């Protein structure tokens, strides 16, 4: 379980760092822009997670991703949930953003990171009480000012929705699995 999360985390970090330093025009060609995605540039739905707008943006996300990975170990988050939260939530938010704000650019791993933190807040509520964890998340959203050259209202809102979608997605997964387990126990 932990080895899969470490492998996935290393892949995300290597891709993010590699794209930042070695891929020319990555921001223009790989970040998510709704109108470009819906006009056929479908790779953007995956690649935007690995594109960063500045060195401080990259460093901030690398630090946050490492902390999120370590927290997932502490609370015992399963690797399949970790990976699913990272991609499903970020993809969903990007698609919704692309419909309502087709010219807005999304880049970076933070949507996935906040989604995983949403899952961790449910998974680890016995270790880290929600009344302590939620203010930390809100604080971290506003601390983005230090890691991004410009922080807009949209970025704050999308980070919050990343957290909220991870929280709801994880809750839905756990509820579905528990329902399935109880059904199987009754059938047996």
Domain range for residue 132? Answer: 2-187
Number of folded domains in the chain?
1
If we measure between CA atoms, which residue out of 125, 109, 15 comes closest to residue 69? 109
If we measure between CA atoms, which residue out of 59, 58, 84 comes closest to residue 72? 84
pLDDT in tens, 81-96: 999 999 999 999 999 9
pTM above 0.75, yes or no: yes
pLDDT in tens, 117-148: 989 888 777 676 667 767 777 676 666 666 55
Q: Residue 20: its pLDDT value, please?
A: 97
Pair 147, 113: CB distance under 8 Å: no
pLDDT class of 3 with cuts at 50, 70, 90 = confident
Q: Beta strands of the chain (E only): which ranges?
A: 32-33, 105-106
Distances (CA, A) of 182 to 136, 178, 179, 188: 35, 6, 5, 10
* CATH code, domain carrying 153: 1.20.1540.10
């Amino acid at each position: 379980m932990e080895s899969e999360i470490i492998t996935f985390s290393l892949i995300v970090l290597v891709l993010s760092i590699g794209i930042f330093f070695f891929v020319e025009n990555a921001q223009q060609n790989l970040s998510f822009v709704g109108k470009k995605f819906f006009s056929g540039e479908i790779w953007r739905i995956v690649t935007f997670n690995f594109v960063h707008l500045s060195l401080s943006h990259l460093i901030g996300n690398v630090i946050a991703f490492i902390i999120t990975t370590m927290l997932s170990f502490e609370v015992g988050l399963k690797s399949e949930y970790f990976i699913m939260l990272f991609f499903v939530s970020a993809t969903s938010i990007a698609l919704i953003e692309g419909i309502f704000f087709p010219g807005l650019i999304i880049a970076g791993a933070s949507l996935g990171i906040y989604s995983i933190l949403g899952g961790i807040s449910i998974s680890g509520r016995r270790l880290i009480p929600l009344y302590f964890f939620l203010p930390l998340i809100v604080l971290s959203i506003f601390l983005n000012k230090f890691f991004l050259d410009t922080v807009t209202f949209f970025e704050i809102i999308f980070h919050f929705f990343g957290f909220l979608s991870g929280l709801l997605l994880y809750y839905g997964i756990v509820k579905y699995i528990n329902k399935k387990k109880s059904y199987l126990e009754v059938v047996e």
